[in-house]
């Protein structure tokens, strides 16, 4: 049973980390998008960045944990 708890705890840590990364990346992309005189290459990178991949990872971790852990 303690192995299961360890795994759930680690998954919760990962979920929290991904949540923080998503928020920080979103803010960073917004700040960059508001800047002028960026190189064409950087603007293209900003436009092509797929933040939804982070959200998808969070959802997969959620499924592993079970939805009851996220009901409040």
Q: What is the pLDDT of residues 31-51, one digit of tens each?
A: 999 999 999 999 999 999 999
Q: What's the confidence (pLDDT) of residue 66?
A: 87
Residues for the chain: how many in total? 72
Q: Phi and psi (nearest 5°) for 66?
A: 95, 140
Model pLDDT for residues 9-19, shown as the tens digit of each residue: 899 999 999 99
Which tokens hold the place of 2? 């303690």
Burial label, 34 (beta-carbon count in 10 A; 0-12, 13-18, 19+): exposed
Q: pTM to 2 decimals?
A: 0.78
């Amino acid at each position: 049973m303690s192995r299961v708890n360890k795994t759930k705890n680690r998954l919760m840590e990962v979920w929290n980390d991904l949540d923080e990364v998503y928020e920080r990346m979103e803010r960073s992309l917004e700040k960059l998008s508001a800047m002028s005189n960026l190189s064409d290459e950087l603007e293209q990178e900003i436009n092509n960045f797929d933040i939804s991949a982070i959200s998808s990872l969070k959802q997969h971790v959620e499924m592993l944990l079970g939805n009851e852990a996220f009901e409040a």
